[in-house]
Amino acid sequence: MPAGALQRTLKEDTAQPQIKTETPMPDASHAPAPRALDVAIVGGGLAGLYAVHRLRGLGLKVRAYEAGSGIGGTWFWNRYPGARCDVESLEYSYSFDNALQQEWQWPERYGTQPEILKYINHVADRFDLRRDVQLDTRIVAAHFDSDGNAWTLRTDSGEEIQARYCVMAAGNLSTPRVPDFKGLSAFKGKWYHSGLWPHEGVDFSGLRVGVIGTGSSGVQMIPIIARQASHLHVFQRTANFSLPARNGPMEAERERRHKAEYPERRRAAADTPFAIGGHPKPTRSALDVSDEERNAAYEAKWQEGGSISYLYAYTDLLVNKQSNDTASEFVRNKIRGIVTDKRTGELLAPKDHPIGTKRLCLDTGYYETYNRDNVTLVDVRSDPIAEIAETGLRTDGGQRFALDAIVFATGFDAMTGALREIDIRTSTGADLRAHWAGGPLTYLGLMVSGFPNMFVVTGPGSPGVKTQMIASIEQHVDWIADCLAHLRGRGLDRIEASPEAESEWVKHVNAVADSTLYPLANSWYVGANIPGKPRVFMPYVGGYDRYKRHCDAIAAKGYEGFVLTRQERALEDA
Ligand code: N01
């Protein structure tokens, strides 16, 4: 548990977030008899909800446990100003029910956080999911008893749940993190984290505000906070590439055309690396065309908006540094052209990583914001934040900034944080925190060797975070559902990843990453934002299309690399 992780236990938050120091272990001695399930699902976001729907459809007794006071996961918690998805909503939505996707109307090209949360609640009602979701319930421990062949999960109130299978749908960016700055508790103003935003919103009117962090969250909120604050200081450690979103109202004709071809479009999207359709696959290297042609192509993509479109300009932008340099420099020049103060423009132009190797941001008026008189960019790479004091913030070099409010857009303990917060272990001595001490180990991002009957949705080692997330969620949950149906059909009741298959998969994930430019960036993909976290490339970047075919082939070969057994008979025979 890294210092500075935040405990998401606030309900209708009005209080300041609490820095969490340890996982409480409740006393279960007076708890009622454990609830018995076929499948316990951890998380009530997009993944947990679809798992409830899909697994319940198999006739299984399931229940999802959600720490929040509402469903929606990421979209429940991240309510900061300007929060919206950076994948177009006609793509970023469930595909499992054609009537649902035909009927739901997205008002804008990119869904806002309130709109996406409304959609998730609509889905929960439409498919009657709420009766199998328990809110305000954090799972703090999950222990597997090998002899009993069952998981026992413990909640933060001491309730125990027994389940044959456990599906971890706890999210990849769900453990918000505030850097371990000295003096935060002494700060007299209010402070906020993007991932733990008060439900009633925050009015920054007339306040001196500091935003720390310039990733996707910072880039989205900064233009809006700048319009409210009397002065906004943005504390930037690393400049990030951001492209214009070109958001706008949903055009009726565009929606009509998309919906007329929805199933074909979903199938076409599944045949792409990012699971996002509508972009012609590139056919040439950036180095195969003249400078003029290349710049014209980048300009067209810049005008079109969206990150996938830009990265799809040429075949090799994420694998060839020289090619990438052309795309990176084009955007740097755009930034220099937008920002009127030369020094600020140069600070905002990223030079430490190839474009696309950190999550590419999408914005509305981000760079233009720095032309406002009430906005100042502070370079905390050359002069890091030393401490937070009662009235503001001080840097190592002695600069002082008087602030009424501080916003931490400092990200998450990504991909492993949520599972490492839960005490996951087995009666045969396996302990997930120990197993992952050197970085996450999984087979296909779906299972962890030594932890039978525990599935992970879009976990490390899977392409999830590098794709249209809902497509990856559906692919994983469908795979898990088919697997459980397979086990049941054969009278089997235990599945686990073999250590050899896990080890081969981890090697493959690393080899694929090393054949790209991704490892050149200090991103949360390698845990670089968490001091002391082992530097391991966590997502699978071989592409959703390739990965899905591989998962399907593994299943078709009788779940190659997994060990499938029947425990009940073994016990009877004993
Ligand atoms: O977090 P981040 P995020 N001193 O980790 C800085 C998804 N998402 O919440 O790069 C000073 O990207 C840190 O600096 P550095 C999306 O997948 C999606 O913005 O470590 N600064 C960085 O600038 C995204 O990638 C959407 O040097 C410090 C920032 O804080 C992911 O969530 C919207 C610091 C953290 O950036 C996470 O995005 C929002 C320190 N001590 C999020 N520590 C959409 O769909 C950290 N930083 C649009």
What is the reported pLDDT for 29? 52
Q: What pairs with residue 191 in β-bridges? A: 406
What is the reported pLDDT for 7? 57
Residue 18: which residues within 8 A CB-CB, separation 6 or more?
Answer: 6, 7, 9, 10
- Ligand 1 centroid vs 442 CA: distance in angstroms? 25
What is the reported pLDDT for 490? 97
Query: Which is the closest atom of ligand 1 to the Cα of 529?
Result: 20
Q: Are 19 and 45 in contact (CB under 8 A)?
A: no
Q: Could you write out the three-class secondary structure of 269-334? A: HHCCCCCCCCCCCCCCCHHHCCHHHHHHHHHHHHHHCCHHHHHCCCCCCCCCHHHHHHHHHHHHHH
Write the residue with the smallest CA distance to atom 16 of ligand 1: 216
Write the residue with the smallest CA distance to atom 11 of ligand 1: 237
Report how far residue 556's alpha carbon sits from residue 553's, in angstroms, rounded to the nearest whole number: 5
Burial of 422 (0-12, 13-18, 19+ CB in 10 A): buried
Instruction: Flag residues of the chain having pLDDT under 50.
Output: 1-3, 9-15, 21-25, 28, 571-574
- Ligand 1 centroid vs 24 CA: distance in angstroms? 28
What is the reported pLDDT for 21? 46
Q: Are 370 and 378 in contact (CB under 8 A)?
A: no
Query: Which is the closest atom of ligand 1 to the Cα of 362?
Result: 48
Write the residue with the smallest CA distance to atom 13 of ligand 1: 213
Query: Which is the closest atom of ligand 1 to the Cα of 219?
Result: 19
Q: Are 161 and 63 in contact (CB under 8 A)?
A: yes
Write the residue with the smallest CA distance to atom 20 of ligand 1: 529
Report how far residue 453's alpha carbon sits from residue 451's, in angstroms, rounded to the nearest whole number: 7
What is the reported pLDDT for 152? 97
What is the reported pLDDT for 574? 41
Query: Which is the closest atom of ligand 1 to the Cα of 195?
Result: 9
**Residue whose pair of structure tokens reads 């008189």 in the numeric block:** 373
- Ligand 1 centroid vs 472 CA: distance in angstroms? 22
- Ligand 1 centroid vs 178 CA: distance in angstroms? 11
Determine what percent of the chain falls in helix, strand and coil, rounding each to the nearest 5.
Answer: 35, 20, 45
Coil, strand, or helix at residue 521? coil
- Ligand 1 centroid vs 412 CA: distance in angstroms? 7
Write the residue with the smallest CA distance to atom 18 of ligand 1: 216
Q: Which residue among 359, 413, 466 has the greatest number of ligand 1 atoms within 8 angstroms of its CB, and so is best to mutate?
A: 359
Instruction: Tally helices (H) and strands (E) across the chain.
Output: 18, 20
Predicted model pTM = 0.94
What is the reported pLDDT for 30? 55
Report how far residue 118's alpha carbon sits from residue 109's, in angstroms, rounded to the nearest whole number: 16
Provide residues with CB under 6 Å of ligand 1.
85-86, 173, 179, 194, 212-218, 220, 235, 237-238, 359, 380, 385, 409-412, 524, 529
What's the DSSP call for residue 251? P
Report how far residue 65's alpha carbon sits from residue 138's, in angstroms, rounded to the nearest whole number: 7
Please report the beta strands in 98-189, taking only residues with DSSP state E, as ranges in sequence order. Answer: 133-134, 139-145, 150-155, 160-168
Report how far residue 199's alpha carbon sits from residue 202's, in angstroms, rounded to the nearest whole number: 9
Q: Which residue among 182, 211, 385, 529 has the greatest number of ligand 1 atoms within 8 angstroms of its CB, and so is best to mutate?
A: 529
Query: Which is the closest atom of ligand 1 to the Cα of 380?
Result: 11
- For residue 94, give both structure tokens: 């469930």
Q: Are 522 and 414 in contact (CB under 8 A)?
A: no
- Ligand 1 centroid vs 218 CA: distance in angstroms? 7
What is the reported pLDDT for 15? 43
What is the reported pLDDT for 9? 44
Residue 403: which residues within 8 A CB-CB, separation 6 or more?
Answer: 189, 208, 209, 210, 233, 391, 392, 393
Write the residue with the smallest CA distance to atom 4 of ligand 1: 237
What is the reported pLDDT for 476? 98
